[in-house]
Chain A
Amino acid sequence: MRRNTRALQNQQGDTGQLGQLQPGVTLQDRYLVLGILGAGGMSSVYKGRDLHFPNVTKLVAVKEMINLAADPTMYEMIVRNFEREADLLATLSHPAIPRIYDYFSQESVSYLVMEFIEGRDLEATLRETDTFLPTDKVVSWAVELCDVMIYLHNHQPQPVVFRDMKPSNVMIDQHGHIRLIDFGIARVFQPGLKGTMIGTEGYSPPEQYRGEASPPGDIYALGATLHHLLTRRDPRAEPPFSFNDRPIREINPEVSAELEQVIYTALSYDPKDRFPTADAMRKALVTAARQTGLLVTPQGAPTVRIHSDVQELWSFECEDELRGSPVVDSGLLYIGCYDNNLYAIDAKSGEFRWKYATEGGIPTRPVVDSNTVFVGSEDQRLYAVAADSGKLVWTYYTEAPVRSSPALFEGFIFFGSDDNHLHVVNASNGRRAWRAEAAAPVRASPLVADERVYFGCESGDFYCVDFRGELKWRFKAKRAIASTAIMVEGVIYFGSMDWTLYALESEGGWQVWRYRMGKPTISSPAYAEGKLIIGCADGNIYAIDARSNREAWRFATEHQVNGSPIVHEDSVYCGSVDGSMYCLDLRSGRKRWSYPTKGPIVGTPVIVNSILYFGSNDHRLYALLT
């Protein structure tokens, strides 16, 4: 085996990668190689110049196929396949199919000389853009692709099956028309043994594994290509035949229901359920385009029914913005307000029970334990207030505003302060147990789990300390961490102002993965069904797979999402600075309803007994019956 490996390395040293031709080489005294256009498998394509036209620059594409097969039968088969491609191309005549000029072999290498097409293939087009391609453009390409399919499938004496429809095999020439390239009929199948490969393409129809190549297979592959173009989700990165798992309109709302239907018909698992002919598909595409006035403009986003499935139970007006988050305990709701008060409201009726006036705005969420409500205020203090009467029990002073919501654990309250400390206070008497210094203000709420406390601060430092306040490990993000961490199965998740959602191993703080969003975030993630849900200042609510960093879905609101989402049953609830509370389907990210208020929503909602509670900067506290 060692000898074998060395031989391979030698071969590479002598000939370069795959022994490609260098610019300047002339083939048959006629074709001057100018450069390489592409390489894959056993073939390469070069840009060349035809020297038989010395007075003009006639460009050609030269496809080279190196036959490495050692087995004579295999060798023959590869040669035959290549010749068949040449012969076939020579008999075809269609504006979307490149013309063939010449064919020759030198030793174990065969060449096909073809029309050179100036343009860009669709895979490159996808790669070089980052927004959805205009739907009308995609439809007009699709119609042209149907046209060439109609030609190929009706070819005499035998239909021609293209077999390899995918974005990289479709060029858009300089006139904006499609051209099919690479009639890669010389597909190599390795017989026998384990692991005979099917095309790894992701565009191939299911019946291809049986070795069937038929016109309905091309229709499937065209459907797959259109799905990729419209969703920008590469099917090669997904399990085969999984297009239905990525509904086109959920990803790209610009696409009409009619067009989506055409594509899914083409993508039917059973060939019988697809369009019977390319002509039928073409007609369906044109009809779908007409119905929606496409080729003019796509239909606007579907009209949204405003909170049709949700009903306001009550709302309660305070004297200033409600930036904090509510908590509900034993039938009472507690929320802090920028009017300095901590309010206690009857959760069912919305009736006022009591309020306690602090000396600063309250941007945090209270916690309740043993008939006591604990809340931090910008007046630098943490308050303990009797839950039933609203009477003060004790006060704890920090040296700067408190903007971190307290966490309760085993009779101790953990919270951060702008005085650069994490404070740990005995809940029964308000005395400090210990405090730990941080590099900057601590505004995130600490996470207490497994005898550890995890918290981030405004410098981007994230700490793990034990119950003595001793540092276990530290991680540094590039910018502030105001997001409260959560821990799921030994991984810590939090967002940062450096635009990133981090996943850290909880024992040592090593990064397992990270996910980059479009802007900073101060939203805290929620977890459900293997997904992390988090808001971002880029206006999106994201759902990210917790085991990897793949995006499951994202939902765009109309302004920053600074509040944190919660998950209840199969719904995500999250407010946006656009003023609305959104309810989304946890699995798809599709909107179930939205409820508008008159000010930004920056707090985190809470749901108890199917009633959703949240505050808005319009000074109101809302209770919605979901």
Chain B
Amino acid sequence: MDFFKKLIPKPKPKPSPAEGVKTAPLDPSLAGPPAASPALHLVVGIAQSVGIERTHNEDSVMAIHGTMGGLELLQDFGIFLVADGMGGHRSGEVASAVSARTVTTRLTDSALSALTEGNDAYAEPLQDLVRKALEEANQLVVERVPGGGTTLTVAVLLGQQITLGHVGDSRAYLIEPSSTRVLTRDHSLVKRLEELGQLTAEEADTHPQRNVLYRAIGQGANLEVDVTSHQFPPGGQLLLCSDGLWGVVPDPDIERIVLQATTPQLACDQLVAAANAAGGPDNITAVLVRQNLS
């Protein structure tokens, strides 16, 4: 892969604005320790289950992350994705797989190479790259998987920022010891009716049409993608999951499991087990990304 080559910074001299100029530290106490600034490292867990009631797995999941140390310290980065397919005759699993692959390919090709190349106004902003990747996946599904569709939630982690691309009702949670937030907005009709005050949260939870989406990949040529960026605070954990998890396991339980598990992998295993214990009506996928201070 070309981008891996690009990841290794070329040993070219940096044009420093301070070159040739004598500088002195402001104040030794302000300058901090001489070592590289402490880096946050990503630790990832993934778990998936067909569930109890389904025979196929229509969910797709993908995780890439990189860590570098040494002189040219680069921030940890990662791409994480959950897609939940829909549609008969196996078109759901094809739609989610095709979308996951397309988005991954596109983002590794462009986003990660942007990471190691120059920062200037000619480079494409991360949010544009994410949006285009999802649009491309949509185009492909519309053309090649008639009748198929998929949700897709992708998170690109770079420095302090989580950039999310999102369509459908899979979710991204940011879980901190003090708070849990859903960073994505469900594109489901029932959620929308709840937002409008036409349904209560309880009615929405049991509504027969709670699976009806108003936005998904593969449902038409024009796809509106939600793209947002959020700070990834130290100690925060990012959970991506399909509705096979969040639709079955209540948020407080998700939060408790994530905060109490010793490793992200254990947390994911326990989350999937909790969904299956609650009946496992749908495919279950969970990806958990934790930031550990090295």
| Chain A residues whose C-beta falls within 8 Å of the C-beta of B215 in the assembled complex | 200
| Contact flags B97-108 to A (C-beta < 8 A → 1, else 0) | 110000000000
- Measured CB to CB, the closest approach of chain B to A495, in angstroms, equals 12
A489 to B24, CA, bound (A): 29
- B115 contacts partner chain A, Cβ-Cβ < 8 Å: yes
A521 CB, min distance to chain B CBs, angstroms: 14
The digit string for A366-388, where 1 denotes a CB below 8 A from any CB of B, is 00000000000000000000000
Q: Which of B11-55 contact A (CB under 8 A)?
A: 14-27, 30-32
Task: For B128, list chain A residues within 8 Å (CB).
Answer: 513
User: CB of A103 within 8 A of chain B?
Assistant: no
Interface-facing stretch out of A5-13, A212-220, A334-342 = A5-13
Q: How far is the CB of B19 from chain A (nearest CB, A)?
A: 7
B146 contacts which chain A residues (CB < 8 A)? 42, 68
Indicate if A206 sits at the interface (CB-CB under 8 A).
yes
A511 to B30, CA, bound (A): 28
Contact assessment for A209 and B229 in the assembled complex, using a CB-CB cutoff below 8 Å: no
B145 contacts chain A at the CB level, 8 A cutoff:
yes
Complex Cα–Cα for A496 and B121 (A): 10
Q: Tell me if B203 counts as interface (CB < 8 A to partner A).
A: no
8 Å CB interface, A483-511 against B: 489-491, 496, 498, 500, 502-511
Which residue of B is nearest A244, CB measured? B196
> Given contacts A197-B149, A433-B26, A508-B115, are A269 and B159 in contact (CB under 8 A)?
no
Q: Which residues of B contact A504 (CB under 8 A)?
A: 119
Q: Mark B122-149, 1 if CB is under 8 A from A, else 0.
A: 1111111000000000000001111101
Q: Report the minimal beta-carbon distance from A12 to chain B, rounded to whole angstroms.
A: 6
Among B147, B187, B195, B196, which residue has its beta carbon within 8 angstroms of that of A269?
B196
The residue that A463 contacts in the complex, of B17, B92, B193, B221, with Cβ under 8 A, is B17
Cα distance A490–B158 in the bound complex, in angstroms: 11
B126 engages A510 (CB within 8 Å) = yes
The reply to whether the CB of B258 lies closer than 8 angstroms to some CB of chain A is no
CB atoms of A547 and B192 under 8 A apart: no
Check if B224 sits within 8 Å of A237, measured CB to CB: yes
B14 touches A489 (CB 8 A): no
CB proximity to A under 8 Å, residues B152-167: 158-161, 163
Closest A residue to B230 by beta carbon equals: A547
Q: Do B214 and A478 have beta carbons less than 8 Å apart? A: no
- Specify which of B121, B125, B149 is in contact with A476 (CB 8 Å cutoff): B121
Once the chains bind, are B229 and A491 in contact (CB under 8 Å)? yes
Segment of A464-472, A583-591, A612-620 engaged in the interface with chain B: A464-472
Residues of A within 8 A of B160 (CB): 490, 505-507
B110 at the interface (CB under 8 A from A): no
| A193–B14 CA distance with the chains assembled, in angstroms | 57
* Chain B residues near A461 (CB-CB < 8 A): 17
- In whole Å, how far is B115's beta carbon from the nearest beta carbon of chain A? 7
- Is B144 a contact partner of A476 (Cβ separation < 8 A)? no
| Contact A511/B159 with A193-B86, A240-B192 known, Cβ cut-off 8 Å | no
Contact partners of A1 in chain B: CB under 8 A: 90, 93-94, 97
Residue in A closest to B185 when the chains form the complex, CB atoms = A239
Contact, CB under 8 Å: B87 / A470: no
- The answer on a CB contact under 8 Å between A512 and B126 is yes
Residue from B114, B211, B221 in contact with A194 in the complex, judged by beta carbons closer than 8 Å:
B211
Interface residues on B, range: 35 or more
Q: Does B5 contact A (CB under 8 A)?
A: no
Q: Does B2 touch A at the CB level, under 8 Å?
A: no
Q: Is there contact, CB below 8 Å, between B119 and A240?
A: no
User: What is the chain B residue whose CB lies nearest that of A500?
Assistant: B121
**Chain B positions within 8 Å of A71 at CB level:** 88
- Give the distance in Å from the alpha carbon of A192 to the alpha carbon of B92 in the complex: 13
The one of A12, A424, A511, A549 in contact with B144, judged by C-beta atoms closer than 8 angstroms, is A12
Please determine whether B119 and A17 come into contact, CB atoms closer than 8 angstroms.
no
Which residues of chain A are within 8 angstroms of B230 by Cβ–Cβ distance?
Answer: 489, 547
Complex CA gap A70/B88 in Å reads: 10
Residue B260, interface by CB 8 Å: no
A141 within 8 A of B: no
Q: Is A40 a contact of B221 with CB atoms below 8 Å?
A: yes
Known: A236-B222, A410-B30. A195 touches B196 (CB 8 A): no
Q: A193-B87, A193-B88 are in contact. Are A512 and B19 (CB under 8 A)?
A: no
Is A439 an interface residue when CB atoms closer than 8 A count as contact? yes
CB-based contact B90/A512 at 8 Å:
no
Determine whether B63 belongs to the interface, using a CB cutoff of 8 Å to chain A.
Answer: no
Write out the residue numbers on chain B whose beta carbons fall within 8 Å of the beta carbon of A510: 114-115, 119, 126, 158-159
Would you give the shortest CB distance from B50 to chain A, in whole angstroms? 14
Residues of A within 8 A of B180 (CB): none
A residues 1-35 in Cβ contact with B at 8 Å: 1, 4-5, 8-9, 12, 17-18
CB pair B93–A498 under 8 Å, yes or no, is no
Q: Please give the number of chain A residues whose Cβ is less than 8 angstroms from any Cβ of chain B in the complex.
A: 81
Contact partner, A511, options B119, B145, B189, Cβ 8 Å: B119
A548 CB contacts on chain B under 8 angstroms:
127, 226-229
- In the complex the two chains form, what is the Cα distance from A194 to B208 in whole Å? 11
Task: Find out whether the CB atom of B198 lies under 8 angstroms from the CB atom of A269.
Answer: yes
Contact status B17-A471, CB under 8 Å = yes
Q: Which residue of B lies closest to A17 (CB)?
A: B143
Instruction: Tell me the complex Cα distance, A519–B87, Å.
Output: 47
Task: Check if A195 sits within 8 Å of B195, measured CB to CB.
Answer: no
Q: Judge whether A195 and B212 touch: CB under 8 Å.
A: yes
Residues of B near A433 (CB, < 8 A) are: 24, 26
Q: Does B209 contact A (CB under 8 A)?
A: yes
Cα A48 to Cα B159 with chains together (Å) = 56
Q: Which of B97, B114, B119 is the one whose CB lies under 8 Å from A474?
A: B119
A473 to B196, Cβ gap below 8 A?
no
| Minimum C-beta distance from A473 to chain B (A) | 6
Smallest CB gap from A514: residue in B: B125
Any B CB within 8 A of the CB of A171: no
Q: Is B220 an interface residue (CB 8 A)?
A: yes
A130 at the interface (CB under 8 A from B): no
Contacts of B115 in A (CB 8 A): 508, 510
By beta carbon, the residue of chain A nearest B193 is A206
- Is A438 on the interface with B (CB-CB < 8 A)? yes
User: Does any Cβ of A come within 8 Å of B248's Cβ?
Assistant: no
A190 at the interface (CB under 8 A from B): yes
B203–chain A nearest beta-carbon distance, Å: 14
**Which A33-73 residues have a C-beta within 8 angstroms of B?**
40-42, 68, 70-71
How distant is the Cα of A334 from the Cα of B243 in the complex, in angstroms?
58
Cβ-based interface call for B213 (8 A): yes
Q: In whole Å, how far is A408's beta carbon from the nearest beta carbon of chain B?
A: 13
Does B292 touch A at the CB level, under 8 Å?
A: no
Q: How far is the CA of A197 from the CA of B128 in the complex (A)?
A: 27
Q: A434-B24, A512-B127 are in contact. Are A198 and B143 (CB under 8 A)?
A: no
The listed residue with most B CB atoms (<10 A of its CB), out of A194, A198, A241, A547, is A194
Contact of A436 among B17, B121, B168 (CB under 8 A): B17
Indicate if the CB atoms of A241 and B196 lie closer than 8 Å.
yes
Q: Write 25 A-B pairs (CB below 8 A) sorted by A numbering.
A: A1-B94, A1-B97, A8-B94, A12-B143, A12-B144, A190-B147, A194-B92, A195-B212, A200-B220, A241-B196, A433-B26, A435-B21, A461-B17, A466-B31, A467-B30, A468-B24, A477-B121, A489-B230, A508-B158, A510-B126, A510-B159, A511-B119, A511-B125, A514-B121, A514-B125
A residues apposed to B, CB below 8 Å: 1, 4-5, 8-9, 12, 17-18, 40-42, 68, 70-71, 190, 192-198, 200, 206, 209, 236-241, 269, 410, 412, 424, 433-439, 451, 460-461, 463, 465-471, 473-478, 489-491, 496, 498, 500, 502-514, 547-549
**Top 8 nearest A-B pairs by Cβ distance?**
A195-B86, A507-B159, A490-B160, A476-B120, A469-B23, A489-B231, A511-B125, A434-B23
In the complex, besides A465-B17, A514-B121, 9 extra interface pairs with C-beta distance below 8 angstroms are A41-B220, A193-B87, A206-B193, A434-B25, A490-B161, A510-B115, A511-B121, A512-B161, A513-B227
User: Which residues of B line the A interface, CB within 8 A?
Assistant: 14-27, 30-32, 75, 84, 86-90, 92-94, 97-98, 114-115, 118-128, 143-147, 149, 151, 158-161, 163, 168, 185, 187, 189, 192-193, 195-196, 198, 209, 211-216, 219-222, 224, 226-232, 243, 282
